Amino acid sequence: MKKGKLLIISGFSGVGKGTVVKYILDNYSDYKISISATTRSPREGEVDGTHYHFLTTEKFEDMIKNNQLLEYANYVGNYYGTPRDFVEKNINEGNNVILEIETQGALQVKKMMPEAVMIFVLPPNADTLKERLVGRQTETMEVINKRLSKAAEETGVIDKYDYFVINDEIADCAACINDIVTDNNPELIGSDCVNKIKNDILKFSKGE
């Protein structure tokens, strides 16, 4: 049986990567989403094994010791990480496994599994990213500016990604990612476009 691929999908906050990933899972076969493990308590409506694998701190730390995580981090007193077993089992069964993950964790996974395909989802331009964040109408401008500052930080590491895709239309972005996975001549954006988006985000983060 042909093995599947591990896809690391990252993107700036507000770029819509979660929506793109959901579209892929709903419209393409042979894709699975990796579910993270955490030691935080479930929130209302969250289901163990669907939203997260909810673990005790002792169990999580045992997984760290036994090298059972591809990556992990401690955030505000709780652990978050990617279980290795699920990823390896599904890849061996021929499924493509998606990790929707931020850049720091992505680089950890790439060290553990160099064959992973790293894809970074970009907005059509920096203005669109800011408009999407403001358009949510769920966050203050202070929070939005923090997200833009975080995006500016991430511009320093995205060059380590293998591919860049633009999320202008969800279906088109999902199709491009699938073309990358299937080696079907994906329409990729050039470095000039990537650099312009990066530079414009850096300007926004400085209030220019």
- CATH code for position 163: 3.40.50.300
For the annotated binding site for ATP, the residues are: 11-18
Give every CB contact of residue 94 below 8 A, 6+ residues apart in sequence: 1, 2, 3, 4, 30
Distance, in Å, from the CA atom of 178 to the CA atom of 10, rounded to the nearest integer, reads 15
Q: Which residue has the higher pLDDT, 185 or 83?
A: 83
Residue 6 has pLDDT above 90, yes or no: yes
- What pLDDT band is residue 186 in, cutting at 50, 70 and 90? confident
Q: What is the model's pLDDT at position 131? A: 81
For the annotated binding site, the residues are: 11-18
Domain presence at residue 190: yes
Domain presence at residue 78: no
Residue 9 has pLDDT above 70, yes or no: yes
Q: How many domains does the chain have?
A: 1
Domain presence at residue 16: yes
